[in-house]
Structure 1
Amino acid sequence: MKIITIRHPYDPAQIPDEDIVLVLGFFDGVHKGHQKVIQKGKQIAEEQGLKLAVMTFNQHPSIVFQKIDPDTMKYLTNLSQKEGIMESLGVDYLYEIEFTSAFSSLKPQEFVDQYIVDLHAKFAVTGFDYTYGPKDIADVAHLPEYAKNRFTVVTVAKETDEGEKISSTRIRHLLDEGDMEEANRLLGYSYEIEGTVVHGDARGRTLGFPTANIQYTTTCRLPKEGVYVSELKVGDRWYPAMGSIGHNDTFGKGRELTVEVYILDFHQDIYGEQVRVRWLHLLRDQVAFNGAEALIDQLHADEEATRNYFNEKKQVQEKK
């Protein structure tokens, strides 16, 4: 997959000189609803003998339109994660458009001319609710009018689950509730975050549960505070783990929110490593315990529950 970063106005030489199927959207999370739109584009590309291109943005449009502080935005997927998922879906070209004030000021016809027609799109594939400007004049219903018969518009219907639309908003609510099974089912993969292992206060080691303290970006959306069955990726390998998101209230109020991961049967030094954490199942909410002893007892119970989770998962896989 080739990634093409575009800043408006762009140099036409950046654009591959071949006809494409272009799928449009922001795709935060690249969930099952998004995947259906991309897969429709892939199907058309294969039928027509064309390359598949997807267009996304480097940041959420509301940062420009509503003048929101970029550091306060919480994404389900950062650009790196989005790129990996797009590649796995068979995308040939990924256009990452820098969503600037200049780009946002494009009129609907200008956007269509410069970012669909001039990208050599013969098919433009979108979800039913895609917009490219003010909703009343720049929705999918108006797209054929702006297309002027230069490309075919394909609109993919709403993807529902149990009668409710699959959406990034719905998945965010599930993360806020700690319902990882449902969130992961709607995503079509296990939710994960990226970060760097940094030095913490080393309290876990004194409790008999040494943890990797994960430094994450401010724009990363974390599940609700709690203790989770998790997996941590170091290098090319995923390890079963127990993850904690919380403030360590047992040791005092007003502490910083941290992400700490205890890796089962793991004894390597991984400080400074870039890692990924998958969130699989909420074991319990965070609790302020009456001292270290009570916390240690609970951590042993959490570890046992975590081991049971992975053992049951292994047994299910072996029966298949």
Structure 2
Amino acid sequence: MPTREPVVVLGEFDGFHLGHRHLLEAAARVARLAERPLVAVVFDVGRDRVLHDQAERSRALLRYGVSQIRVLAVPLDSVDATDVADSIVAGLDPALVVMACAPDGIADAYPDVRAEFRTRGVDVVEVDRVVDHAGPVTAERVRTAVETGDIAAVIELTGEPYPITGIVQRGQQLGRTIGFPTANLEPPADRVIPAKGVYAAHVRHDGVDYLAAVNVGVRPTVDASDRLVIEAHLLDVDIDLYDQRIAVSLTHRVRDEHRFESLDALTEQLARDVDTVRHLNP
């Protein structure tokens, strides 16, 4: 627990986009000027699929000088502003609350939440939203970009490639027989998964980054099960990653997923994909 009343910054922080970064930079400045610790309250609004899990959000928040993180369950369809304010005031006794002008997740209830803090004698600092050519930068825009495979838009909105982390599973090992061995990940059930297709990526394992061509899809040429998989072919290396955790960061979309008439046609296209990945990530 902080020894002094903290500055508290509020948000869902899913997707960790440029608006979140701007909010946290402002909150960190306020905390430094007030000489108080900075605490983040992360709203968990009960989404079935998220862009970043709580551990990833926590790591990002800590980079901005947050000294403590609290997760507060806030049902998206029934936000109770009184309960939100009561929970935060009782649990943290904030000197000041920092919020975006229309925070992701509880935007409709924002005026009530702000008013509830002020009725309890807690000042609220409102931070302007980050706006680009298409309007306010929001987590919903990031979700749409991921779901449509628009990795360029994801990077524009967040400043980073889209991450997928998981344990490498044993597959059919067909890729090895045609010269393109892959590390296979089961798509996380609780994450927003990019549209089917081939992507350029970096794969990080044990502190080392590898260039990779990644397929997100059902492998229609070689598999009739329609099971979604994420396959990463690491360029220029052949290492055993089975049962190990890797982090895949998608940097560009290369093409849609297609069904090919033969393994030879698939192999030829994979070679072209690798050349494209090398060109995109020199």
Instruction: Give the whole-Å Cα distance in 1 for the aligned partners of 2:69 and 2:80.
Output: 23
Q: Return the offset for 1:139.
A: 2.4
Match for 2:36 among 50, 72, 79?
A: 50
3-state SS of the aligned residue for 1:256? coil
Q: Which residue of 2 aligns with 1:40?
A: 26
Q: Which residue type is aligned with residue 94 of structure 2?
A: A
**1:70-89 counterparts in 2 under 5 A?**
73-89=48-64
User: Secondary structure of 1:268's partner?
Assistant: coil
- Contact between 1:128 and 1:140, CA under 8 Å: does it hold in 2? no
The 3 A distance-change label for structure 1 pair 133 and 205 is closer
> Which runs of structure 2 are paired with 1:1-320 in the superposition (5 Å)?
15-57=1-43, 59-61=44-46, 73-97=48-72, 99=73, 107-116=80-89, 118-130=91-103, 135=108, 138-140=109-111, 143-144=114-115, 146-148=117-119, 150-311=121-282
Q: What SS class does the counterpart of residue 89 from structure 1 fall into?
A: coil
Query: Deviation at 1:42?
Result: 0.6
Residues 18, 151 of structure 1: alpha-carbon distance in 2 compared, 3 angstrom cutoff? same
Q: Is the 8 A contact 1:112 1:147 kept in 2?
A: no
C-alpha change, 1:54 and 1:262, in structure 2 (3 Å) is same
- CA distance in 1 between counterparts of 2:84 and 2:223 reads 53
Taking the aligned partners of 2:164 and 2:116, their CA distance within structure 1 comes to 41
Q: Matched residues in 2 for 1:188 and 1:111: separation?
A: 30
3-state SS of paired residue (1:251): coil
- Encode CA deviations 1:143-179: one digit per residue, 9 max, x unaligned: 2454236221011122211141111111111122222
Distance 1:133-1:228 versus aligned 2 partners, 3 A rule: closer
Task: Spell out, residue by residue over 1:105-128, the C-alpha distance to the aligned partner (whole angstroms, 9 max, x if none).
Answer: 895334323313540211111112
Matched residue of 2:50: which SS? Answer: coil
Contact 2:49 2:189 in 1 (8 A): yes
Q: Which amino acid aligns with 2:175?
A: G
> Aligned letter for 1:280?
T
**SS class of match (2:192):** coil
Provide, for residues 191-215 of structure 1, a one-character-per-residue CA deviation record: whole Å limited to 9, x for no partner: 1011000101111111110000112
Structure 1 residue 221 displacement after superposition: 1.2
SS at match of 1:139: helix
Q: Give me the TM-score of the superposition, normalised by structure 1.
A: 0.81
Could you say what secondary structure the match of 2:281 adopts? helix
SS in structure 1 at match of 2:191: coil
Structure 2: segments with no counterpart, 5+ residues: none
Q: Which amino acid aligns with 2:6?
A: I
CA distance in 1, matches of 2:218, 2:55: 28
**C-alpha contact (below 8 Å) 1:228/1:244 kept by paired residues:** yes
Query: For residue 23 of structure 2, what is the amino acid of its counterpart?
Result: V
Q: Which residue of structure 2 aligns with residue 12 of structure 1?
A: none
Q: Are the aligned partners of 1:194 and 1:274 in contact in 2 as well (CA < 8 Å)?
A: yes
Q: Distance in 2 between matches of 1:183 and 1:100?
A: 26
How far, CA to CA, are the matches of 2:37 and 2:234 in structure 1? 42
Provide the rounded CA distance (Å) in 1 between the counterparts of 2:45 and 2:165. 19
Residues 1:53 and 1:255: Cα distance change in structure 2 (over 3 Å): same
- Work out the CA distance in 1 between the residues paired with 2:138 and 2:105: 18
Structure 1: gaps spanning 5 or more residues: 1-14, 64-72, 312-320
Asked if structure 1 preserves the Cα contact closer than 8 Å seen for 2:218 and 2:228, the reply is yes
RMSD: 2.3
Check 1:205–1:115 CA distance in 2 against 1; reply closer, same or farther (3 A cut). Answer: same
Q: How many residues align?
A: 281
TM-score by length of 2: 0.92
